[in-house]
Amino acid sequence: VVEEVENSLSLVKELDAFPKVSESYVETSASGGTVSLIAFSAMALLAVLEFFVYRETWMKYEYSVDKDFSSKLRINIDITVAMKCQHVGADILDLAETMITSNGLQYEPVIFELTPQQRLWQRTLLLIQNRLREEHALQEVLYKTLLKGAPTALPPREDASMEPLNACRIHGHVYVNKVAGNLHITVGKPIHHPQGHAHIAAFVSHETYNFSHRIDHLSFGEELPGVINPLDGTEKITYNNNQMFQYFITVVPTKLNTYKISADTHQFSVTERERVINHAAGSHGVSGIFVKYDTSSLMVTVSEQHMPLWQFLVRLCGIIGGIFSTTGMLHGLVGFCFDVICCRFKLGLYRPGEVLNQDAQLHQMNNLNHHHTPLLADNPPR
């Protein structure tokens, strides 16, 4: 049994791919120690940087066809219009001629002018909006930092003001069909009749028309705290009583899956247009605010991705092995070049072994000459 174990161990030793060199045959040098120190420092630095990369996450976007056409679409609205609440009304009419009145919306008399704190909030929001248009990668940062809680909204006024309530805040949410539709905010309360829909505006003076407005929040789907929508913070001021504001929106269903939250929401892109209603000049229409939306047939799935542990270990081994091999080759190349520059080889013309042989031959010839000269002198002359 002992012999079989020894045979097995000997077989295993023959398969050793890492032969050991005796320490007596290992020669150290200052240059080798310097290169080793640089290599170990580079390994440590890159390993730390790779660990930070391993901790980071990124957002992955996947596109598919939206097959959910029977569910309802939620619209979240928070718009302030510079008119009294009894003079304006909001409703939604879709392509299926389904009229949705403002039963889910609340009309709150407010002051249109913002306080300094609210104005600072709006300027900050507009600054973020501009940065988002220039650099879309910031949206991924917002996705990663989503937290459960109340959505971002205009902060309330610090104290009660004695100014008159000259504006109307329309806020709340409504559920509509997932087809194209139009949100109207115009003069008069909406009414529905078989021939269509209308707004009762006969008792509203034309001089009171003022559709200056501020969109504090407008989104589709589930409200997510921290997500900034394209129209949030938008403010339009007009000094014309017959102004029409139009917003053309394309809504894209979005599934968001991060390590902090998972929700079904919607993104949207918007195009704005405004014009003055002047029937004499051929500009026809109705004064008011019109948000025309349409849903996309594509659905976007946004998921937060993380580097797997096995990939991190493979990259770490690649860093260590690559630096070790590279520094070894560079050290050998630098040593070879140094030897060439110092003329130790001189392209093969100067070899230390040949010099030693020549010295030995000259020494031997001198000894022979010194030994045979007396013999020639001892011979008697003839």
Tell me, what's the pLDDT at 378?
Answer: 45
pLDDT band at 375 (very low <50, low <70, confident <90, very high): very low
Q: How many CB atoms are closer than 10 A to CB 108?
A: 14
**CB under 8 Å, gap of 24 or more: what pairs does 196-204 form?**
196/97, 197/91, 197/93, 197/99, 199/89, 204/87
Q: What one-character-per-residue DSSP string does 46-100 give?
A: HHHHHHHHHH-EEEEEEEEE----SSEEEEEEEEEESS-GGGEEEEEEETT--EE
- Tokens representing residue 258 in the block: 């991060």
Chain segment 308-352, per-residue pLDDT in tens: 899 999 999 999 889 888 888 888 887 777 777 775 555 554 455
Going by their DSSP bridges, the two strands 88-94 and 99-100 should be labelled as antiparallel
Q: How many CB atoms are closer than 10 A to CB 98?
A: 12
Tell me the one-letter amino acid at 19.
Answer: P
Tell me, what's the pLDDT at 362?
Answer: 52
Tell me, what's the pLDDT at 264?
Answer: 82
131-140, 244-253, 336-345, 355-364: lowest mean pLDDT where?
355-364
Dihedral sign computed on CA atoms, order 41, 47, 51, 52: positive
State the Cα–Cα distance between residues 89 and 101, nearest whole angstrom: 9
Hunting for tokens 């559709």 — which residue is that? 211
pLDDT of 78 strictly over 60: yes
Cβ atoms of residues 220 and 265 within 8 Å: yes
Cβ atoms of residues 253 and 266 within 8 Å: yes
- Sheet containing 167-177: which strands, arranged edge to edge? 105-110, 167-177, 72-81, 213-220, 234-236
Tell me, what's the pLDDT at 140?
Answer: 60
Tell me, what's the pLDDT at 257?
Answer: 82
- Tokens representing residue 192 in the block: 């529905």
State the Cα–Cα distance between residues 3 and 141, nearest whole angstrom: 67
Hunting for tokens 């003079």 — which residue is that? 87
Chain segment 122-170, per-residue pLDDT in tens: 888 888 778 777 766 556 656 655 544 444 667 777 776 677 888 999 9
Residue 182 burial (10 A CB sphere; 0-12, 13-18, 19+) = middle
pLDDT of 184 strictly over 60: yes
pLDDT of 272 strictly over 80: yes
Given phi > 0 = left and psi -120 to 50 = alpha, else beta, which region is 260? alpha
In the chain, what are the helix, strand and coil shares in percent, each to the nearest 5? 40, 30, 30
Dihedral sign computed on CA atoms, order 243, 248, 253, 259: negative
Q: Is the pTM here over 0.75, yes or no?
A: no
The phi and psi torsions of 167 (rounded to 5 degrees) equal: -135, 170
State the Cα–Cα distance between residues 218 and 231, nearest whole angstrom: 6
State the Cα–Cα distance between residues 78 and 105, nearest whole angstrom: 9
Tell me, what's the pLDDT at 357?
Answer: 53
Tell me the one-letter amino acid at 104.
Answer: G
pLDDT band at 249 (very low <50, low <70, confident <90, very high): very high
Query: Where is 42: in which H helix or E strand?
Result: helix 30-55
Chain segment 7-38, per-residue pLDDT in tens: 777 776 776 666 666 666 566 677 777 888 88
Q: What one-character-per-residue DSSP string does 298-343 give?
A: EEEEEEEEE--HHHHHHHHHHHHHHHHHHHHHHHHHHHHHHHHHTT
Cβ atoms of residues 52 and 293 within 8 Å: no
Hunting for tokens 């997510």 — which residue is that? 224
14-18, 108-112, 265-269, 301-305: lowest mean pLDDT where?
14-18
Question: In sequence order, which residues have a C-beta less than 8 Å from that of residue 363 and are 6 or more positions away?
Answer: none
- Tokens representing residue 199 in the block: 């707004």
Cα 197 from chain centre: 45
pLDDT band at 193 (very low <50, low <70, confident <90, very high): low
Closest CA to 292 of 204, 376, 183, 372: 183
Closest CA to 172 of 92, 95, 234: 92
Mean per-residue pLDDT over the chain, rounded: 78
